[in-house]
Amino acid sequence: MIGIIGAMEEEVADLKKMMIVHDTVEQASMTFFRGMLCEREVVIVQSGIGKVNAAICAQILIDKFGVDTLINTGVAGSLNAEINIGDMVISSDAVHHDMDTSVFGDPVGQVPRMDTFAFPADEALVELTRVVNEEVNPDIGTFVGRVVSGDQFISSQEKKEQLVRLFGGYCAEMEGAAIAHTAYVNDVSYVIIRAISDKADNSSHMDYPEFARRAIDHSMRLLVSLIPRIS
């Protein structure tokens, strides 16, 4: 079973229109749409924004629906000068950039007493996603790299430079690491797909509304081609 999570309604609305809905389940103020999409059994849900919402959502998908593959789709801000608005970032792994117990000697981003610093995505799923995106979205760049997540919208150059320096992040957003963390502790596969909608700097407030729709369109094209090919 594949679980598809988008933080915002516009990130999953088109997918829900395409699916054959068998039933809906309400839990934790979220509506889970279970049915068929591209001839595969899926559950699609809008989690809400932020890491807590995303983690709750992912755990419900695993516990209630038996999901063994999590796909998190959405938009993000670029942290890499080579990654432009409209390009796609596919997670190699994910880190909580706002976790900080460095006063106790931990590196910034390390969840205390966790046996990993970054939560690795499923390598085969990442590679498949990369190949499919290059096929269906040849007009944009495809990048595989680290997603960094925190409960803040990155809009300053200073913060952007910090995230690159500390984490080598490719993009910044607000849910992916929580989903990756949940997948890791439950031993299920995941991948984060992030279409770049802004440059995560002082231009964010100008770029975001204009480019978010185009970014979501690219994600849609990727997902409808990817889902049938997931083994």
Average pLDDT over residues 218-226: 94
The pLDDT score that the predictor gives to residue 104 is: 95
Q: How far is CA 141 from CA 108, 131, 136, 218, in A?
A: 30, 12, 11, 11
The pLDDT score that the predictor gives to residue 53 is: 98
Note if 207 is an active site residue.
Answer: no
Residue 102's CB: how many other CB atoms inside 10 A? Answer: 11
Instruction: For residues 5 and 180, give the distance between their C-alpha atoms in angstroms, rounded to a whole number.
Output: 12
Q: Which of 11, 87, 175, 207 is catalytic?
A: 11
* Half-sphere exposure (Cβ direction) of 171: Cα atoms closer than 13 Å: 34
The pLDDT score that the predictor gives to residue 217 is: 84
* Domains along the sequence of the chain with CATH: 2-229 (3.40.50.1580)
pTM here?
A: 0.93
Look at strands 20-27 and 2-6 and give their pairing. Answer: unpaired
Q: Give the lowest-confidence range in 34-38, 57-61, 178-182, 194-198.
A: 194-198
The pLDDT score that the predictor gives to residue 210 is: 64
What DSSP designation does 33 have? E
Q: Which amino acid is at 76?
A: A
Q: Quick one: which of 197, 214, 193 has its CA closest to 205? A: 197
Sign of CA dihedral 65, 177, 17, 31: positive
The pLDDT score that the predictor gives to residue 154 is: 84
Instruction: For residues 49 and 146, give the distance between their C-alpha atoms in angstroms, rounded to a whole number.
Output: 20
Q: Mapping DSSP to helix (H, G, I), strand (E, B) and coil, where does residue 66 land?
A: coil
Q: Which of 87, 93, 173, 198 is catalytic?
A: 198
Q: Mapping DSSP to helix (H, G, I), strand (E, B) and coil, where does residue 81 land?
A: coil
Query: pLDDT band at residue 85, thresholds of 50, 70 and 90?
Result: confident
Question: What's phi and psi for 27, nearest 5 deg?
Answer: -155, 140
Note if 10 is an active site residue.
Answer: no
Instruction: For residues 156 and 199, give the distance between their C-alpha atoms in angstroms, rounded to a whole number.
Output: 10
